[in-house]
Amino acid sequence: MATREEVRAAAVAVLGGIAPEADLTALGADVPLRRALDLDSVDFQNFLIGLTKALGVEIADREAAALTTLAACMDRLAARSSPR
Amino acid sequence: MAEFRMPTLGADMQAGTVVAWLKKPGDVLRRGDTLAEVDTEKGVIDVEVFTAGVLEAIVVPVGAKVPVGTVMATIRAGAEPAAALPLPPPRGLPETGEERPVPPAAPATPAPATPAPIPPAPIYAPGLAAAVRLKISPAARRRARELGVDPAAVTGTGRGGAITLVDVEQAAARAAAAPRAAAIAAPPSVPMPPPADRQERMRRTIAAAMARSKREIPHYYLATTIDLGRAMAWLADRNAAVPVAERLLPGVLLLKAAALAVREAPELNAVWDGERVVLRETVHAGVAIALRGGGLVILAVHDTATRPLAELMTTVCELTVRARAGRMKSSELADSTLTVTSLGDRGVEAVYGVIYPPQVAIVGFGRITDRPWVVNGGLCVRPVVTATLAADHRVSDGHRGGLFLDAVDRLLQEPEKL
Amino acid sequence: MTRITYREAVRQGLREALAADDRVVLVGEDVGRYGGAYACSKGLLDEFGAERVRDAPLSEAAFVGAGIGAALAGLLPIVEIMTVNFSLLALDQIVNNAATLRHMSGGQMSVPLVIRMATGAGRQVAAQHSHSLEVWYAHVPGLKVLAAATVADARWMLAAALADPNPVILFEHALLYPVEDDVDARPAGFDPWHAAIRRPGRDATIVTYGGSLPKCLAAAETLAGEGIDAEVVDLRCLRPLDVGCVLESVARTHRAVVVDEGWKTCGLGAEISATIAEERLYELDAPVARVCTAEAPIPYAQHLETAALPSAARIAAAVRDVVPGKTAAAAAPRAE
């Protein structure tokens, strides 16, 4: 259902709630999120919860660790929610 | 009639500014309702009420800064009639919500005229002895008003740490030297200091609490490395089967294990009241939450030892979000009995904490990391964590601290029972 | 300018009073032939005769009563009582008669009587001769109470006391009699009814009177060497109290230490402290401190007597305690 751009927008919105001080417009697609935004494990858990709510998708525990960048989120979640 | 007082939200708090009243006189109050928003160096705190009843009168207006312990509002408890006669001043300590019976909520029909139950004073309010009233000479208090200095932010050098004229004048000189700090000197009716100022105040507050801790508390430190092989495997199994929102982080297992291990050394779950230790029956573990941009707060996860892991997980996630947004509740700030700190999964291997007074211990967990480990005489790779304990030697000894860490280890070997 | 003792200053005051006015008489135990228990009236019997310098029988009630009667009848009697301890035998005469008659008679009968008495400890003469009961008299309306702490005051206070229509109790601390100082002519506008600042200072006010003044000045000198600038106020008149001087001083220094050789409980120090708290609370930067005599009858044994009394060291310590910041710096030089 969601396009790559929609996934990106959702991820940025969720991150905005977790790290309000960060300038997310400049966040490159391949930047490691946790280091760039200083996310700890609870922040990351909140990120995952926010993503699943926003996109209406489920993220497997094994898969969660792979969502290290915006690009990875787009690759995995847009593909998942496409009608294909 | 009950009095709703400016609570002490940690040993370091001396005053707070009322930002908003969320109820008006005549409103029915239930236990846990947020009655007021109070600005402190930790952010805007939702101050909860622990007496059910009806809000009778608001005493402290919005914008006013008052010391801890000041009566902010009066509450008519459940069965009480509207106050007709002046009541004797209460002997109780400020509301803390700790182990305090709550009078019944207002019944639909008027109850017979029985005397209102007077709630007993709580056993101990954290930091109360230090914070009830600012120790400042009358001359210094007046001078502070003249110079626009916030006395709560001044360190006293007089007898018994009293704030004297010299202290106030030096504080004013410092404030004048640093233009950014001048905001502190604004009259108390200015409602909200800018965030930069809050950060500065928080830094100063942490400085005061930690300096006091290191000055007064004879810390001893213990460390042990715990094999988390079973715990991590159990966690992976459990998390694989549930949606994201129900998954647990390893940190919550560590938190609960620490809370349960208190059974083996109850003297670690306590406060030091200046002369002796006061044990707390319930474990409200305080989690240290680092704030983005600097500073930290310690928020209580209530009833840590008895609530299920999933619930603790939800609480920790929620607390983290609110702490970073600067929206905390008074009970979360005031109630913690033992701090648990972890520098996170990208952090360091071990953390040796500084005790948050008046608590008497702090438990630290480092990063969970794979290490070569000997099991049954054979070498293998296991996820391990270094658990540390910094404890107050006035209250407990190394042997008891060791038993505590050993209990944490044992509890983590049976994660399914946590 | 001549250098004389406090004892000689008292004697000169008495001699001057006797010479100046025929109505003045001196009455007391051993004031005539013996020259006074503290030798303050030596030679006055010979100079003024037995009519005007009268040895009294050993009954304080009787000769104080006689003095009151003489004052009512138009004389200006000076009654000497050996020590304030003995004056208790005449308490009824002083409190019930001398202090009241002017008021009870609507001003028709005045008692222009001066009662001099020695007070204080420090001479190993034990409890019954050593107490400082000035505050007992300072409590009583109708009396005026003076305490001469300096040689000049010992010289000039008597004339002012005699000129007052009220009965005046004039205290002389027995340890002061040998103290020497230069005394000039009577200062213009000499006024014993108001306190005097004996040493100006900025950091703390030491309030005292009588025999404690030299100890306070010594303490202030010690403190000056440590960078603490103490002001010393000599109350001089204990009734009516000159609170204005004390309050003005405290408003400048913001700290007060009251030094009184009397006992602390219900003493003069309590009165001064309470007045400061009532009138100048918002000037105070530290609690008011009191240095008083130990709550015991004055011991006979010398080391115990010394320990019981205020000393310059105790006074200095009390001042250090109320002056913030300078205490730590002072600790080093004192650790000799």
- B38-52, B85-99, C15-29: which has the minimum mean pLDDT? B85-99
Question: Is A38 or C264 the better-scoring residue by pLDDT?
Answer: C264
Domain positions in chain C are 2-183, 196-334
Q: Which of A35-44, B315-324, C179-188 is modeled with the greatest confidence?
A: C179-188
Question: Is B154 or C231 the better-scoring residue by pLDDT?
Answer: C231
Residue C316's SS3 state is helix
Q: Is the pLDDT of residue B122 over 90?
A: no
Chain C: residue nearest B138 by CA? C282
Rounded Cα gap, residues B300 and B14, in angstroms: 20
Q: Which of B244, B292, B346 sits opposite A58 (nearest CB)?
A: B244
pLDDT at C120: 96
pLDDT tens per residue across all 336 residues of chain C: 789 999 999 999 999 999 999 999 999 999 999 999 999 999 999 999 999 999 999 999 999 999 999 999 999 999 999 999 999 999 999 999 999 999 999 999 999 999 999 999 999 999 999 999 999 999 999 999 999 999 999 999 999 999 999 999 999 999 999 999 999 899 888 999 999 999 999 999 999 999 999 999 999 999 999 999 999 999 999 999 999 999 999 999 999 999 999 999 999 999 999 999 999 999 999 999 999 999 999 999 999 999 999 999 999 999 999 997 654 444 444 333
Asked if B5 and B70 count as a contact pair (C-beta separation under 8 A), the reply is yes
Chain C within 8 Å of B139 (Cβ-Cβ)?
Answer: yes
Mean pLDDT value across residues B157-169: 86
User: Is C129 a known active-site residue?
Assistant: yes
Domain positions in chain B are 2-126, 134-185, 217-417
Question: Is B335 or B102 the better-scoring residue by pLDDT?
Answer: B335
Mean pLDDT value across residues B340-366: 89
Domains C2-183 and C196-334 share a fold: yes
Chain A within 8 Å of B249 (Cβ-Cβ)?
Answer: yes
Rounded Cα gap, residues A34 and C137, in angstroms: 83
pLDDT at B121: 43
- B178-192, B229-243, C102-116, C191-205: which has the minimum mean pLDDT? B178-192
Architecture of the domain spanning B134-185 = Irregular (4.10)
Length reported for chain A = 84
Kindly list the distances between the CA atom of residue C160 and the CA atoms of B42, C170, C313, in Å, as whole numbers in the listed order: 68, 11, 35
Q: Which residues contact B124 (CB under 8 A, 6 or more apart)?
A: B98, B271, B273, B278, B280
End-to-end CA gap in chain C: 40
Q: Is the pLDDT of residue B65 over 60?
A: yes
CB atoms within 10 A of CB B414: 12
> Inter-chain contact C324–B159, Cβ cutoff 8 Å?
yes
Asked if B373 and B350 count as a contact pair (C-beta separation under 8 A), the reply is no
Kindly list the distances between the CA atom of residue B322 and the CA atoms of B12, B198, B326, C38, C98, in Å, as whole numbers in the listed order: 21, 16, 6, 84, 79
ipTM: 0.83
Chain B: residue nearest A63 by CA? B240
> Inter-chain contact C282–B164, Cβ cutoff 8 Å?
no
pLDDT at B194: 55
pLDDT at A47: 92
Chain B within 8 Å of C321 (Cβ-Cβ)?
Answer: yes
pLDDT at B108: 45
Report field, pTM of the whole predicted structure over 0.90:
no
pLDDT at C271: 97
Q: How far is C324 from chain B (nearest CA, A)?
A: 5
User: Which of B292, B299, B341 best probes binding to A when mutated, by most A CB atoms within 10 angstroms?
Assistant: B292
> Inter-chain contact B244–A52, Cβ cutoff 8 Å?
yes
Chain A: residue nearest B247 by CA? A61
User: Which of C203, C285, C323 best probes binding to B when mutated, by most B CB atoms within 10 angstroms?
Assistant: C285
Does the domain spanning C196-334 belong to CATH 3.40.50.920?
A: yes
Q: How far is A44 from chain B (nearest CA, A)?
A: 10
Q: Which residues contact A26 (CB under 8 A, 6 or more apart)?
A: none
> Inter-chain contact C324–B141, Cβ cutoff 8 Å?
no
Relative to beta strand B71-77, strand B2-5 is antiparallel
DSSP B36: E
Q: Which of C282, C321, C325 sits opposite B157 (nearest CB)?
A: C325
> Which residues in chain A (18-77) have CB-CB distances under 8 A to chain B?
18-21, 34-35, 38, 40-43, 45-46, 48-49, 51-52, 58-62, 64
Q: Starting from the edge strand earliest in sequence, which strands make up the sheet with C256-263, in order?
A: C196-199, C230-234, C204-208, C256-263, C289-293
The token pair at B281 is: 């029956």
User: Is C60 a known active-site residue?
Assistant: yes
CATH class of this structure's domain A4-81: mainly alpha
pLDDT at B92: 38
Q: Is the pLDDT of residue B346 over 50?
A: yes
Kindly list the residues from chain B whose CB atom is less than 8 angstroms away from the CB atom of residue C321.
159
Architecture of the domain spanning C2-183 = 3-Layer(aba) Sandwich (3.40)
Q: Which chains touch A (3 or more CB pairs under 8 A)?
A: B
Q: Which chains touch C (3 or more CB pairs under 8 A)?
A: B
Q: Looking at B273-409, which runs of residues are DSSP E strands?
A: 277-279, 285-290, 296-301, 327-329, 338-342, 361-365, 369-375, 378-392
Question: Is A46 or B116 the better-scoring residue by pLDDT?
Answer: A46
Does the domain spanning B217-417 belong to CATH 3.30.559.10?
A: yes
Q: Is the pLDDT of residue A40 over 90?
A: no
> Inter-chain contact A62–B240, Cβ cutoff 8 Å?
yes
- B183-197, B212-226, C126-140: which has the minimum mean pLDDT? B183-197
Of these residues, C8, C29, C80, C129, which one is catalytic?
A: C129
Q: Is the pLDDT of residue B128 over 60?
A: no
Mean pLDDT, chain B, whole residue set = 80
Which contacts (CB < 8 Å, 24+ apart) does range C276-279 have?
A: C276/C246, C276/C247, C276/C250, C279/C243, C279/C247
Q: How far is B232 from chain A (nearest CA, A)?
A: 13
Q: Which of B236, B290, B344 sits opposite A41 (nearest CB)?
A: B344
Asked whether A and C share 3 or more beta-carbon pairs under 8 angstroms, the answer is no
Q: How far is C326 from chain B (nearest CA, A)?
A: 10
The domain made up of B2-126 has a fold known as OB fold (Dihydrolipoamide Acetyltransferase, E2P) (2.40.50)
pLDDT at C333: 42
pLDDT at B204: 84
Q: Which band of pLDDT confidence, cut at 50, 70 and 90, is reported for residue B160? A: confident
> Which residues in chain C (246-275) have CB-CB distances under 8 A to chain B?
254
Mean pLDDT value across residues A30-56: 88
